[in-house]
Chains A and B, each alone.
Chain A
Amino acid sequence: MGVTLTVLSLIVLIPLSAVVLKAANQSPAEFWAVATSQRSLAAYRLSFGAAFVAAVINSIFGVLTAWALVRYEFPGKTLINALVDLPFALPTAVAGIALATLYAPNGWVGQFLTPLGIKAAYNPIGVTIALIFIGLPFVVRTIEPVLRDAAEDVEEAAASLGANRIDTILRIVLPALAPAWLTGFAMAFARGVGEYGSVIFIAGNMPYKSEIAPLLIIIQLEQFEYARAATIAVVMLAVSFTMLLVINAIQAWARRFD
Chain B
Amino acid sequence: MAAVSHRKATDDPLWAKVLVVGTVMAFLALVLILPLIAVFAEALRKGLGVALEAIQNTDALAAIKLTLITAAISVPFNAAFGLCAAWAIAKHEFPGKPLLITLIDLPFSVSPVVAGLIYVLIFGLQGWFGEYLVDNDIKIIFAVPGIVLATVFVTFPFVARELIPLMQEQGTSEEEAAVSMGAGGLYTFWRVTAPNVRWGLMYGVLLCNARAMGEFGAVSVVSGHIRGLTNTMPLHVEILYNEYDFVGAFAVAALLCLLAVVTLVLKTAVEAAQPGMRGRSGH
Contact = CB atoms under 8 A, between A and B. Distances in A.
A136 to B, nearest CB: 6
B280 interface: yes
A136 B31 contact: yes
B264 interface: yes
A179 B48 CA distance: 49
Interface string A225-258: 0100110010011001101100010000000000
Given A156-B10, A214-B113, A94 B85 contact: no
A126 to B, nearest CB: 13
B187 interface: no
B210 interface: yes
A98 B39 contact: yes
B23 interface: yes
Contacts of B105: 244
A19 B118 contact: yes
A221 interface: yes
A49 interface: no
Nearest to A86: B32
A217 B281 contact: no
A102 B38 CA distance: 7
B102 interface: yes
Given A15-B119, A197-B216, A86 B110 contact: no
B259 to A, nearest CB: 8
B103 interface: yes
A145 B135 CA distance: 54
B88 A82 contact: no
Interface string A1-26: 10111011001110110110010000
B132 interface: no
A81 interface: yes
B117 A229 contact: yes
Nearest to A69: B24
A82 B265 contact: yes
B195 interface: no
Contact of A218 (B13, B108, B220, B264): B220
A199 to B, nearest CB: 9
B227 interface: no
Contacts of A94: 39, 214, 234, 237, 253, 256-257, 260
Contacts of A133: 31-32, 35
A209 interface: no
B134 interface: no
Interface string B138-169: 00000000000100110010000000000000
A98 B33 CA distance: 11
A35 interface: no
Interface in A122-180: 129, 132-133, 136-138, 141-142, 144-145, 148, 152, 155-156, 159-160, 165, 168
Interface string B76-110: 00000100110011001010000010111111111
Interface of A: 1, 3-5, 7-8, 11-13, 15-16, 18-19, 22, 61, 64-65, 67-68, 71-72, 74, 76, 78, 80-99, 101-102, 108-109, 129, 132-133, 136-138, 141-142, 144-145, 148, 152, 155-156, 159-160, 165, 168, 187, 190-191, 193-197, 201, 213-215, 217-218, 221, 224, 226, 229-230, 233, 236-237, 240-241, 243-244, 248
Shortest 10 CB-CB distances between A and B: which pairs? A91-B214, A194-B111, A197-B216, A159-B9, A196-B217, A98-B35, A214-B113, A141-B281, A89-B260, A145-B279
Interface of B: 9-10, 12-13, 16-17, 20-21, 23-25, 27-28, 30-36, 38-39, 42, 81, 84-85, 88-89, 92, 94, 100, 102-114, 117-122, 124, 126-128, 149, 152-153, 156, 207, 210-211, 213-217, 220-221, 233-235, 237-238, 241, 246, 249-250, 253, 256-257, 259-261, 263-265, 267-268, 278-283
